[in-house]
Amino acid sequence: MENNNKVKDYVSFQIHKSLVNLYKRYLNLIEDIQEDHNTMIDKISSKIDQNTLKNIDYFDDNKYNYLRKKILDIGNETIRDIEKNFDFIKMEFKDENEK
């Protein structure tokens, strides 16, 4: 039975680690998008009036933080759901010497 729990813990840990890596990649993506957005805003800042620039600057720090929080919330919720479902799983391994 102890060996079964170790396997279950290992599988749970690996899923958790993979999900954390997934939402870290999403965070990297929104950082890239924000950087691209800021580059474009800088390029056009001298060509249009400041009021128009302010109106099209949608990816500010508030938007970034909002998206970051959503990604983290979704990732954490997914991990909690998986861990909750793991409570319903019983893993048993048959000893290869058993018949």
For 3-53, write each residue's pLDDT tens digit.
667 888 888 889 999 999 999 999 999 999 999 999 999 999 999 999 999
Taking residues 69-94, report their average pLDDT: 87
Residue 78 has pLDDT above 70, yes or no: yes
Q: Provide the pLDDT for residue 1.
A: 53
Using alpha carbons, select from 22, 21, 27, 32 the residue that is nearest to residue 67.
27
pLDDT at site 47: 93
Enclosing H/E stretch for 77: helix 61-86
Mean pLDDT confidence for 76-86: 90
Whole-number Cα distances in Å, 77 to 3, 10, 70, 72, 74: 28, 20, 10, 8, 5
